[in-house]
Amino acid sequence: MSQLFQEAIIISILASTIRIMTPLLFSAMGELITQRAGIWNMGVEGTMLTGAFAAYLVATLTGSLWLAVLAAIVAGALMGLVIAFMTATLRVDHFIAGLGLNLLAGGLTLYWFQSYIQGRAQPIFSGFQDVDIPLLSDIPVIGPVLFSQRALTYVALLVVPVVWFLLYRSRYGLELRCLGENPKALDVKGLSVSARQYLAVMLGSAMTGLGGGFLMLGFSDRFLADFTAGRGWIVIVALIAGNWRPRGVLIAVTAFAFLESLATHLQVVGAQVPHQLLLALPYLASIGLLMGLRFRSGQPARLGIPYARE
Amino acid sequence: MTGSPERAAAADPDKLNIAVILSAGIESAWDGTLIEALERAKVAKPHGLDITWKYTDPLWGDDAGDAMRLFAESGEYDVIWAHSTYSDQVKKLREEFPDILFVVVGSGNEGLGGNQYWVYKRVHEPAYLLGYAAGKLTKSNRLGAVGTFPADDVNDEINAFFAGAKAANPAVERTVAFIESWYDPAKAGEYTKAQIATGADLIFQLTGNFKPCEEAKILCFGNFQDQKSFSPSTVLSSAVAQWDPDVSWIVDEWWAHKAEGKSYQGNTDKRWFAMKDGGSAVVPNADLQANVPAAVQTDLDALKARIMAGSFEVPVDVSDPKAK
Amino acid sequence: MSTALRVEGLTKRFAGVTANDDVDFDLRRGEIHCLFGENGAGKSTLSSCIFGFYRPDKGEILLRDQPVQIASPMDAIRHGIGMVHQHFVLVPEFTVLENIIVGTQRSGWRLNAAEARQKLRGICDGYGIDLDLDAYVWELPVGRQQWVEILKALYLDAQILILDEPTAVLTPGESKVLFDIVRKMCARGMSIILITHKLVEVMQSDRVTVLRKGRVVATLDTPATTPDELARLMVGRDVSFTVTKPELAPGETILAVEGLSARGFWGDAVLKDVSFSVAQHEILGIAGVAGNGQKELFEVLCGVRRPAAGSIRFKGEEVAGMSPRAMMDRGVGHIPDDRFREGLVPEFSVAENVVLGWQRSPKYCNGPLMDREAITGLAREMIGEYQITTRDEHVSAGKLSGGNAQKIIIAREFLHASGLVLANQPTRGLDVGVIEYVQTQLLKKRAEGFAIVLASEELSDLFSLADRIAVMFKGEIMGIVDPRKVTVAEVGVMMAGRRGDIAASKERVSA
Amino acid sequence: MIVFERRMEANALWTLSSFIMAIVAGLAASAVLIASTGANVPDVFGALLQGSVGSPKALATTLVKATPLILTGLATVIAFRAQIWSIGQEGQVFAGAMGGYLGAQLLAGLPPLLFFPGVLALGMAAGMGLGWIAAVLRNRFAVNEIISTVMLNYLVVYLLSWLLQGGPWGETGGTISYHQSPMLPDTAFLPALFGSSRLHAGVLLPFLAAAICALVMSRTPLGYEIRGLGYNPEALRHKGVDIARTVSVIMMASAALAALAGAIELFGVSHRLRADNLIGLGYAGIIVGMIGGLSPIGTVFAGLFFGGLASGAVYMRVLGDVPASLVPAMQGITLFFFLCAGVLARYRIVMKVAVQ
Ligand SMILES: Nc1ncnc2c1ncn2[C@@H]1O[C@H](COP(=O)(O)OP(=O)(O)OP(=O)(O)O)[C@@H](O)[C@H]1O
Ligand SMILES: Nc1ncnc2c1ncn2[C@@H]1O[C@H](COP(=O)(O)OP(=O)(O)OP(=O)(O)O)[C@@H](O)[C@H]1O
Ligand SMILES: [Mg+2]
Ligand SMILES: [Mg+2]
């Protein structure tokens, strides 16, 4: 156990935290945009899964990782299109639309995957490698933790301030937040609520899909059934725990990833407790942390309520 | 085998049709290696039989039972090979279809006997050899193993791996991790990286994710199938399951029943084929041979020879492996 | 005077209701034109059609005698039509400025606030509106939120402004300011459509159009008509504006409140050392500008909010801190000010709402099941007794007009209360016919021996109903006065924070 | 421009026919998918039909498969009608099986008339424990129930894993270490109905539960409060309903139903405690409950439909030669058409032409 405090392990815990959190961060920021626009998209898991599958397919077919990134984004946006159609046009209950999307994505990706490999050996690809940022990556501790990561990791970390800027400093962001708080306020100014919701959900889902794609391209070399393994739910939890604010979500995702990384290292250094307990640690600790927190809810007032004029 | 069809009596069967219930999917090592063994049997034509088969996607519980029943009722299948823990389902069917030979595989099964045969797979001997090599090659004296779930036929390998390592190098320390998930490459990667961070410089990888080894530029070992193609630059060697003796055992038993009229005599206790019987093997990666000093290779060869000759028995230890 | 806007033969149907039936209407340049009519007469619908928010099924709209196509609010705004909706269309989480500019910027992707700020300064200075543009809307009292709505329309350069019941949430003082500003707008050539239920306000307009059940009954020049005539046109019968309150000697004290205080969400004091008492046959009026602690006072009294200190004695028993359930069981009835949020479950039927809170009472249950017959029977009885206009008792309460919804609450509370009724703004937003009805019911209960605490922003209500008036300011009682001995102006001064005569209350508490 | 105009009254005939159209459209879309892999569409559908309703045995399988789905669906109905967004059905199913297994140890030897009610009740109690935790977290600590229930799902899965692997309940002996408990004794198998080997008595419980739920929702004060809580909790609070208590009752009742599903799976189907036959029942139940329009009766039909698909899946795989993953894909596709049909039933689609 004392090993845990050695420098190499501390660096490893922190670096692992960053690796675990970055795919989640893309998806969480995407879901943040979606939910701030008033759409309660429960289909994060399905969107991430589809993004991951699209990335796998394109990576193995073309060998180009950046094309695969694009594919994950497009696949995510398409899932967003489905959600937007269901919620903004058909005004279906947001929960069921999202849960239905998960079901559909789980089935379709597996079906296409099986059709794709058809009994032959599964094609694999070689994913993204770490990029050492010159000079910075040589700084002790911080260097290997922060400046020796996948290229997309840096993008993910940049996405937080970008989303913040988009939401709070851009004209579009003001309208987007207005969708979540009171879409009628836009409607009475003659702006189309549903067009903006489509845009927001597709943008958000594209980022969510990218999160899945990054998970695939950065940390795996193959697709498997249920590849995302419940990370979509963690994203939703992080969004609520982060109180629908970019910084809050960043903190929530980081805290969760840190706990998971810590539990990983505890198991590896041989803590003498059942490994299941260590695996459960992030979930237990998250509940504990949230019990201690209390804040004025930042949940958008009209989140999950289909908007209709008459 | 030429000529055997003529010699066979008119009543002798010339076809064997197998229904396979998969448990994880053709892309997994567990199921994939079985299909590969069947391919080889098809070419080898034991007893002059044309072997054909049909497999399902992963099915579990009653679904698997239903599929078996459908196969059985169709009357087209002689052997139903249920490739994991399915004895609960076989129990409900085997008396109704006494002519069909049922196969269940691996841990968690119950030895029912009669027309249920229980195939077991132990890859601990190759794992021991890999461990022995690892013990010799490690510089940090620290080795890692990453598994999915602990189970009887996973623990035996991990324990044998470390037993081999200890035999080669008593100073070896071990680190073990289970991710509690069948498919989660990203999570498996983090566990591997964590082990590397604690100083492990050789990893026995049971979850198929070799990316962390590539990045850390360390060597590792593949499991259950030859995983060289997964990562040609890091997979030094793989402990490989070979189902060929199992398949031919089952084919023989079926033949004995069908052609010679003997009654099925399914095993009630685990039966596995050792390395010397071709049940498992070590498949080294020739491209990385340069990493193994000649002296080590000589030791390994000698050890392997003793195992093959039966003069050295690798102990089976199925207790839950822990880091030490 | 030229015509600014004309509506010809406009018809708008909702599922099952014809809200506007062949309406003709015209608005002259520079005039204030009132729309007047009962709750549900179709005033808001007509406005929404003009604003392009609803699409009429039939009819034509002409601007300066040119037919125009108004298919969406976008078209309306382009034609210089602005509307302040009956229920605020604001984002509480946004600042005033953000509320005004959201959706108005057409180019550039950064928010451009500086320009907007400047333009708004100009508008505010021009009309003498004083508003902090950087305050969050949720921080503003309701009255000030109304200015945000008006600024939204002015910011978009409205030439025709529709105001749908803007004064329902304003104090008399604020209403007066609003009228001054509206006059200024007219002087600058703007035309105003004003919807209000208050006859004093209607009488300040230039012309008035009376709607009844979706049809135009008459359009009159205001100076040539009288409130009585308008009221008659509106409901189709005579309405008496002055309810007669018989003199009754107060009986024993029902409710005695001593040193009551309470805290808000942020720990701020929302009630400070409030003391008063009410007796049988007595109506205690609570006067004050909305947001000065009336709501919190009622919440504490009915058990929804916990007091921080002080005592509440109900029929001699200490009840401070008891749950709403306990208060209800002791006979306290409560008519909340937000009827669709706190008083009713809009999705429930009228019958279900009549037993809301008493769903577990053995009176309405048959063993473990609710007794449908008893409940519908009761609902029918209430519909008859309180003249609730509804197809039947199965209609969901949310589909009723505000007045009829209020009658359900009154019926329910009067039925189950014994001794005390707390009524907060019971007549807000109601048409004069319904107001008369509610007032009559309150007086009936007073005669029966109930004690009543009645808060209203309409001083005229309080002067005609209350036996004593407590004036609240910033969570404190400024004084308790006898309406026969003070003037409206004197109470108005106290509402602004000047202490008055508390003697009346002291006397009663010690009695 | 196409707009949806709300209908005055949802027309029953139109509702029914739109749902039939949804099934047809869903199957048609699935047919395209099937054809795309080169399989024979009529064969596949034939197999599906045969496997779901084609024989008494197939019907029995459909019922057995529908049983946990209906129960978790009902759990969803109760919670969601009150706008309590519990995603905890998954973990509660596990808890139900675990509680039931514990019960089987404690109550072993009791006569069946006491044993089965006892073990099912213990299973439900275990689920209620989970529901209670989520309720306390919400009421006392203001932890959003989506968060708490998702987290509890993970915790329960790891708890079961420990109990079976390393903990006290794992099977030991000849076949040690396989993430399963030993087989229950024959006396702990739920009795079979009609002499079928599969149709256990537990299949009756979802229908009973649905009837009770329907009665509770529409006729009792509790149902009144559940619906009221979903529509307007503030009004309920003002009218003397103890919101925290009601939330606890609802979450525990919902959890009890989901847990019953797990217990029935244990005693009726798997006969030993293991995770893999429980996975996904809770999440599927959420979808079933929502397709059922959050009405108990609708949930029964939705559960039977999903049960039929699941039961036909094996036949489709074996006889129709298509990947079994086609079934979740078909479920998803059909769900989407159902949702569209729901909209059709409530709205009229009107082509609006600009009026001159
Ligand atoms: N969105 C809607 N859907 C269905 N019916 C509606 C809708 N809006 C209004 N109505 C109905 O149309 C009629 C007219 O309503 P409207 O809002 O125009 O009345 P109003 O005169 O503004 O009443 P109030 O004085 O209470 O504000 C009412 O019968 C009402 O029930
Ligand atoms: N979606 C709707 N369906 C049916 N009726 C509606 C709908 N929306 C509003 N109404 C009805 O339209 C009428 C007018 O609505 P409005 O918003 O003006 O409320 P109101 O009853 O006038 O409220 P207030 O108490 O403020 O006067 C009300 O009778 C209301 O019940
Ligand atoms: Mg109105
Ligand atoms: Mg009104």
Q: Between residues 28 and 87 of chain A, which touch chain D (CB distance below 8 Å)?
A: 82, 86
Mean pLDDT confidence for C17-39 = 92
Report the chain A residue with the minimal C-alpha distance to residue D162: A276
Q: Where on the phi/psi map is residue B118: left (φ > 0), alpha (ψ -120 to 50), or beta?
A: beta
Query: Whole-number mean pLDDT of chain C?
Result: 89
In a domain, A261, yes or no: yes
* Strands C468-473 and C282-287, sheet pairing: parallel
Ligand nearest to the CA of C23: 1
Ligand 4 centroid distance, CA of C213 (Å): 14
Does residue C401's CB lie within 6 angstroms of at least one atom of ligand 2? yes
Interface probe for B, chosen from D271, D311, D314 (most Cβ of B below 10 Å), is D314
Let me know if D141 is exposed, middle or buried by CB neighbors in 10 A (0-12, 13-18, 19+): middle
CATH number for position A101: 1.10.3470
Domains C3-235 and C253-331+418-510 share a fold: yes
In the predicted structure, residue C327 carries a pLDDT above the cut 50: yes
Please give the pLDDT value at position C362. Answer: 93
Q: Determine the residue type at A70.
A: L
Mean pLDDT rounded to a whole number for chain A: 90
Is C in contact with B (3 or more beta carbon pairs below 8 Å)?
A: no
Residue B183 sits at the chain A interface (C-beta within 8 Å): yes
CB burial of residue A197 (10 Å; 0-12, 13-18, 19+): buried
Q: What is the 3-state secondary structure (H, E, C) of C124-151?
A: HHHHCCCCCCCCEHHHCCHHHHHHHHHH
CATH of residue D68's domain is 1.10.3470
- Does position C153 have pLDDT exceeding 80, yes or no? yes
Contact D240 C328 (CB under 8 A): yes
- Which among A256, A286, A287 is the top mutation candidate for probing chain D, defined by the most D β-carbons within 10 Å of its own β-carbon? A287
Instruction: Decide if pLDDT at C13 tops 60.
Output: yes
CA-wise closest residue to D309 among D13, D129, D47: D47
Type of residue found at B238? S
> Using CA atoms, how far apart are residues A70 and C470, in angstroms rounded to an integer?
69
The verdict on a CB contact (< 8 Å) between D323 and B57 is yes
Please give the span between the terminal C-alpha atoms of chain B, in angstroms, as a whole number.
52
* B-chain residues near A130 (CB < 8 A): 215
Most B CBs within 10 A among A13, A56, A141, A219, hence the mutation to make, goes to: A219
> Per the structure, how many domains does chain A have?
1
Q: What pTM does this model have? A: 0.90
With contact defined as beta carbons under 8 Å apart, do C456 and C287 qualify?
A: yes
Per-residue pLDDT, B6: 44
* Distance from the alpha carbon of residue C54 to the mean position of ligand 3, in angstroms: 14
d(CA D93, CA D68): 9
Structural domain includes residue A5: no
Res. D9: pLDDT tops 70: no
Q: Do C341 and D232 touch (CB under 8 A)?
A: yes
Distance from residue B119's CA to the centre of ligand 1 (Å): 76
- Strand segments, DSSP code E, in C169-251 are 191-195, 207-212, 215-221
Alpha helices in A4-136 (DSSP H): 7-36, 44-62, 65-84, 94-117
Whether the pLDDT of residue A7 is over 90: the answer is no
**Contact assessment for residue B298 and residue B144, using Cβ atoms and an 8 Å cutoff:** no
Q: Which of C45, C86, C198, C342 to mutate to test the pocket of ligand 2 (most atoms within 8 A of CB)?
A: C86
Paired tokens of B53 = 């088969």
pLDDT confidence of D6, banded at 50, 70, 90? low
Nearest to C278 by CA among C39, C505, C73: C505
C-alpha to C-alpha distance for A301 and C111, rounded to whole angstroms: 23
- The 10s digit of each residue's pLDDT in A251-298 is 999 999 999 999 999 988 887 888 889 889 999 988 888 887 767 788
Q: Where are the domains of chain C?
A: 3-235, 253-331+418-510, 346-416
Domain membership flag for residue D3 = no
Q: Are residues C99 and A185 in contact, defined by beta-carbon separation less than 8 angstroms? A: yes
| Residues in a beta bridge with B31 | none
> Which of C11, C12, C14 to probe ligand 1 with, by most ligand atoms within 8 A of CB?
C14
Range of the domain at A190: 18-119+132-292
What's the pLDDT score for residue D350? 57
At A3 the pLDDT is 64
| Ligand 1 atom 2 nearest Cα | A310
The alpha carbon of C405 and the centre of ligand 2 are apart by a number of angstroms equal to 10
Residue D327 lies in a domain: no
- What is C253-331+418-510's CATH topology? Rossmann fold (3.40.50)
Fold exhibited by the domain C3-235 = Rossmann fold (3.40.50)
Mean pLDDT computed over D56-79:
95
Which strand (E) or helix (H) includes residue C311? Answer: strand C309-314
Higher pLDDT, D322 or D134: D134
Atom 9, ligand 2: residue with shortest CA distance? C399
In-domain check, residue D154: yes
Residue D59 lies in a domain: yes
Question: How many angstroms separate the alpha carbon of residue C400 from the centre of ligand 1?
Answer: 9
Verify whether the Cβ–Cβ distance D234 to C369 is below 8 Å. no
Residue D318 forms part of a structural domain:
yes
Q: How confident is the model at residue D323 (pLDDT cuts 50, 70, 90)?
A: confident
Tens-place pLDDT, residues D272-298: 998 888 888 999 999 899 888 889 998
Cβ atoms of residues C308 and C268 within 8 Å:
no
Q: What would the two tokens of residue A250 be?
A: 């960043």
Q: Give chain D's domain count.
A: 1
Residue D259 contacts residue D124 (beta carbons within 8 Å) = yes
Contact between residue A164 and residue A246 where contact means Cβ atoms under 8 Å apart: yes
pLDDT digits (tens, 9 = 90+) for D169-218: 877 654 445 678 888 888 888 888 887 778 898 999 999 999 999 999 99
Instruction: Give CA–CA dist D126/D100, Å, rounded.
Output: 8
Task: Give the per-residue pLDDT at C510.
Answer: 37
Residue A126 neighbours by CB under 8 Å, 6+ apart: A221
Domain annotation covers residue A309: no
- What does each C-alpha distance from D280 to B186, B304, D94 come to in angstroms? 22, 46, 10
Q: State the residue range of the domain holding D239.
A: 38-322
CB burial of residue A133 (10 Å; 0-12, 13-18, 19+): middle
Q: Read off the pLDDT band of D329 (50, 70, 90).
A: confident
Q: Do A275 and B180 touch (CB under 8 A)?
A: yes
Q: Ligand 1: does its nearest atom lie under 6 Å from the Cβ of C43?
A: yes
CA dist D127 and D264 (Å) reads: 13
Closest-CA distance, D58 to chain B, in angstroms, reads 10
Measured from the Cα of C339, ligand 2's closest atom is 25
- Considering only CA atoms, which residue is closest to atom 4 of ligand 2? C399
- pLDDT tens over chain B, length 324 residues: 344 444 444 467 889 999 999 988 888 889 999 999 999 999 999 999 999 999 888 888 888 998 999 999 999 999 999 999 999 999 989 999 999 999 999 888 889 999 999 999 999 999 999 999 999 999 999 999 999 888 888 899 999 999 999 999 999 999 999 988 877 889 999 999 999 999 999 999 999 899 999 999 999 999 999 999 889 999 999 999 999 999 999 999 999 999 888 999 999 988 999 999 999 999 999 999 999 999 999 999 999 999 999 999 999 998 888 765
Res A209 pLDDT > 60: yes
Ligand 2 atom 5, closest CA = C399
